[in-house]
Amino acid sequence: MKRNPHLRAPVRAVPLALLIIGAAGSQPVAAQSLGIAPPSRLAEVEFERSQSCVAILSEVELLDVELEPFAERSRRLMAIAEAISIEDRSVTSFLDPNDAVESEVQTWFATDSLLAARLVESGDEALHEQRRIGRESITSRVLRAMGGLQAAADSVLNEHQDVVNGAGPCDGAVFVRPAVLEACTNVVSALCAAAQAAPSAEIPFLFAETAEDIWGLRDLRPWTEPESLRPGPNGLEGGRTIGFARIGNVVVTAAFAPLLRSREEIMPAELFAFEQANQALAITFEHPDIAFAPGLAVQAALPAALADEDGYIVHFGEPSDPDIVWRGDAGTGEPIEASVSMSAAQVLRLRNGEGLTLTAVRDRDPVYSIVLATENQAASVTALLSYMASGLGTDLLEIIPPKG
């Protein structure tokens, strides 16, 4: 059975160029007092991350060089498309007559200029339509060229998928400077140059002298404002509010959002749980092909166990007496990505502003926890629940019309 693309989970792609320039400067990170000890294997994991990122980001730089011609050409075509949309004829002085696409654009500008002059002279309304058709045709030509560039760039990325995947743990990371310097012997790269230089806001990397200093870095952000559901390039977008927490290089997000399932694939027990939660929350949802319930999408940058934990839980309450929303395994080598439905009682706790916590456990005993921020949580969840009860069903019927 062919799956509807709007029911796929969104894929997060990391632009390669941002891996080199996306961090927030190379000022050294100072430890903050969080009131919690660093996990027992933190130093080992962060030292290994910093050393492996030296080689990985060096490969990313080479890949960026290979991709730059595609990016430069794409930027040029985007500027040309913008000039077409606003009829900026000054762009013609920069067009290359030996380039097939740019030559066609040059010809269109000349033809459109003649049509515009004839329209002023004659007032013939038919010339409006002729100009519109010509503009749409040349715009389509430029967009096709951009699509070809994207396909060629994607082909290069696919050939280097191991580099793309390996760069994930390095994206926006804080590095242990001594570990980087040790790995930078005979390596010339932006990361090595930054580690060897004096601290400066101009250098796009963050460093700490020890792993413990990295664990002292904390960033908590308010829950995001929810928006209506809409189609996007990787499925549905919007219709969610996201809580965020970062301690060290561990980033945890929890997105409260509609969890959608095809009615042809959902198991009866899960469908019953969906209906029970919706009924308890006074949510009326009718779509012949899609089942829905409020859910939580969890993401966490924890591919390696930091304290020999064997699992993780996301929960309300204290780790000693948790109301568990999600549980999963530790040490998988991959970041955590999971979506689960929530009971009505859990949704109400979230709406009331009770905080969510990710806790690492070993033999069910907690070893460390990361608490998400609660700022703006109650207001955002309340607004999204109202949308789920009123506008969500209507929007989904429009975005994904019933079969037949």
Tell me what pLDDT residue 34 has: 42
Tokens read off for 121 = 């002279």
Structural domain boundaries of the chain?
13-216, 218-399
To which H or E segment does residue 235 belong? Answer: strand 235-237
Tell me what pLDDT residue 199 has: 75
Alpha carbon distance 44, 372 (integer Å): 25
Residues of the chain with pLDDT under 70: 1-36, 200-201, 404
In total, the chain counts a number of residues equal to 404
Tell me what pLDDT residue 201 has: 62
* Distances, alpha carbon 235 to alpha carbons 3, 12, 232, 384, in Å: 11, 11, 5, 19
For residue range 288-342, what is the model confidence (pLDDT) as tens digits? 899 889 999 999 999 999 999 999 999 999 998 999 999 999 999 999 999 999 9
Tell me what pLDDT residue 272 has: 92
Alpha carbon distance 319, 356 (integer Å): 11
Instruction: Please list, in sequence order, all residues whose beta carbon lies within 8 angstroms of the beta carbon of residue 64, skipping any fewer than 6 positions away.
Output: 16, 17, 20
Burial of 125 per CB tally in 10 Å (0-12, 13-18, 19+): exposed
